[in-house]
């Protein structure tokens, strides 16, 4: 089948066979990608109109016990100056975010042992008490099922945990020995069962990634049916084993976004910061390729440069107001509008 027919088949059946995915990733040309983009944009418009959900991202700690080979804040990077926000600082951030219109706060960070279940449940329930009309998303890595249950009970609504790659051999090349795809997947399964709106996702163009790996990612997404999917290009981070590797491609990342939108019409799909870092109009082009969520950084300015997952991350010199203004303007430029709605996942 020609690539265009494969894309039409995906639209109709919401599914492709593994060899078909591999063909698409290996042989798609600009025209095929353009066709996928048009279709994805149309589907996103049918689902969400020209409204883009806004999430305020708070990077609560860059302390991490893990040593993921790609990540700039990995444990063994001793050039990072480490910080951890206090509960009061986190509340203050939410306050500022609330006033700017955010109704979702995303608390992201490294796997920092300080954030025990007790401390986190206090933070989550505290935010919920002050801002009962807001959703809380956590993105704090792998925890036990009991821990996830406590956080859910405390009021957390959503959890982001990218699977990074759905192929075991590839996963092992990106992570130290003590981390496994099996455990990552177990966490994702637990999160979904507990009732979180659950997000997974992958980097595009990470070292050693093949078309077959991407095909496995698409098959996993089809089967797992996540509520949210974070997709961004791999970007090298200095002082990591992958510092000399080349960045993922903008076109490839946008193509994957389009295909995901075609396969899962109602999924929540952010235009990620990594895409905005790779290219000035990366996030705008992501929206035009089917993304429907923006996550401007509302972290305190002084912490931002230290939450460097990869080189040259955008927004590190800005405050929350500026980051929000940039995102809102970039949306308006392409005819989209930010919405203050909580933007929960809705079954079709
Ligand atoms: N500790 C949390 C949050 C990780 S940071 C967790 O384990 O989920 C969020 C995401 O940033 C990661 O899941 C990864 O996909 C992405 N990321 C990390 N380093 C990156 C890099 N060098 N290039 C692109 N994305 C990266």
Domains, the chain, with CATH or none: 46-339 (3.20.20.70)
Exposed, middle or buried: residue 309 (CB in 10 Å: 0-12, 13-18, 19+)? buried
Quote the pLDDT of residue 276.
Answer: 97
State the Cα–Cα distance between residues 69 and 164, nearest whole angstrom. Answer: 12
Q: Hey, whose CA ends up nearest to atom 2 of ligand 1?
A: 141
Q: If you count them, how many residues does the chain have?
A: 348
Q: Hey, whose CA ends up nearest to atom 8 of ligand 1?
A: 141
> Is 247's C-beta closer than 6 angstroms to any atom of ligand 1?
no
Element (H, E) at 122: helix 117-130
Quote the pLDDT of residue 121.
Answer: 98
Question: How does pLDDT run along the chain (348 residues), one tens digit per residue?
Answer: 899 999 999 999 999 999 999 999 999 999 999 999 999 999 999 999 999 999 999 999 999 999 999 999 999 999 999 999 999 999 999 999 999 999 999 999 999 999 999 999 999 999 999 999 999 999 999 999 999 999 999 999 999 999 999 999 999 999 999 999 999 999 999 999 999 999 999 999 999 999 999 999 999 999 999 999 999 999 999 999 999 999 999 999 999 999 999 999 999 999 999 999 999 999 999 999 999 999 999 999 999 999 999 999 999 999 999 999 999 999 999 999 999 899 999 998
Give pTM, 2 decimals. Answer: 0.98
> Is 162's C-beta closer than 6 angstroms to any atom of ligand 1?
yes
> Is 235's C-beta closer than 6 angstroms to any atom of ligand 1?
yes
Mode of pairing for the β-strands spanning 228-233 and 270-271: unpaired
Quote the pLDDT of residue 25.
Answer: 98
Ligand 1 geometric centre to CA of 238 (Å):
14
C-alpha distances in Å from residue 314, one per residue of 77, 197, 305: 20, 27, 9
56: nearest Cα among 296, 322, 330:
296
β-strand partners of 204: 233
Quote the pLDDT of residue 340.
Answer: 85
Q: How many CA atoms are closer than 13 Å to the CA of 215, on its beta-carbon side?
A: 14
Quote the pLDDT of residue 59.
Answer: 98
State the Cα–Cα distance between residues 223 and 246, nearest whole angstrom. Answer: 30
Residue 232 has a CB neighbour count (10 Å cut-off) of 28
Residue 258 tokens, joined: 């389009």
Helix, strand and coil percent figures for the chain, each rounded to 5? 45, 15, 40
Ligand 1 geometric centre to CA of 2 (Å):
35
Ligand 1 geometric centre to CA of 305 (Å):
15
State the Cα–Cα distance between residues 225 and 191, nearest whole angstrom. Answer: 13
155: nearest Cα among 189, 105, 209:
105
Quote the pLDDT of residue 348.
Answer: 83
DSSP-derived secondary structure letter, 289: T
258: nearest Cα among 51, 55, 10:
10
State the Cα–Cα distance between residues 41 and 46, nearest whole angstrom. Answer: 9
Nearest atom in ligand 1 to the alpha carbon of residue 142 is 7
Quote the pLDDT of residue 182.
Answer: 98
- Sign of dihedral through CA atoms 205, 209, 210, 212? negative
> Is 141's C-beta closer than 6 angstroms to any atom of ligand 1?
yes
Best residue among 66, 162, 235, 313 to mutate for probing ligand 1, ranked by most atoms within 8 Å of CB? 162
Ligand 1 geometric centre to CA of 253 (Å):
15
Best residue among 57, 273, 309 to mutate for probing ligand 1, ranked by most atoms within 8 Å of CB? 309
292: nearest Cα among 264, 324, 316:
264
DSSP-derived secondary structure letter, 176: -
């Amino acid at each position: 089948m020609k690539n265009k027919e494969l894309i039409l088949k995906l639209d109709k059946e919401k599914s492709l066979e593994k060899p078909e995915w591999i063909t698409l990733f290996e042989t798609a040309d600009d025209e095929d990608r353009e066709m996928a983009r048009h279709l994805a944009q149309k589907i996103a418009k049918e689902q969400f109109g020209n409204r883009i959900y806004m999430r305020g991202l708070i990077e609560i700690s860059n302390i991490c016990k893990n040593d993921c080979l790609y990540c700039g804040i990995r444990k063994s990077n001793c050039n990072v100056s480490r910080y951890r926000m206090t509960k009061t600082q986190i509340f203050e951030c939410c306050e500022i975010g609330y006033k700017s219109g955010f109704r979702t706060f995303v608390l992201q960070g490294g796997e920092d042992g300080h954030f025990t279940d007790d401390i986190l449940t206090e933070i989550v329930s505290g935010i919920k008490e002050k801002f009962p009309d807001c959703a809380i998303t956590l993105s704090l890595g792998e925890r036990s099922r009991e821990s996830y249950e406590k956080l859910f009970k405390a009021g957390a609504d959503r959890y982001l945990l990218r699977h990074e790659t759905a192929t075991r051999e590839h996963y092992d090349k990106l992570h130290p020995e003590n981390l496994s795809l099996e455990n990552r997947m177990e966490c994702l399964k637990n999160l979904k069962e507990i009732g979180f709106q659950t997000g997974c996702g992958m980097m595009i163009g990470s070292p050693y990634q093949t078309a077959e790996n991407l095909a496995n990612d698409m098959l996993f997404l089809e089967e797992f049916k996540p509520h949210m999917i974070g997709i961004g290009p791999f970007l090298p981070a200095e002082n990591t084993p992958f510092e000399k590797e080349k960045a993922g491609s903008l076109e490839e990342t946008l193509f994957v976004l389009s295909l995901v939108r075609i396969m899962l019409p109602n999924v929540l799909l952010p235009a990620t910061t990594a895409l905005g870092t790779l290219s000035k109009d990366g996030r705008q082009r992501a929206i035009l390729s089917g993304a429907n969520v923006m996550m401007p950084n509302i972290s305190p300015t002084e912490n931002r440069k230290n939450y460097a997952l990869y080189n040259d991350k955008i927004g590190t010199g800005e405050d929350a107001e500026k980051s929000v203004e940039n995102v809102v303007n970039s949306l308006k430029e392409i005819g989209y509008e930010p919405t203050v709605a909580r933007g929960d996942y809705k079954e079709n």
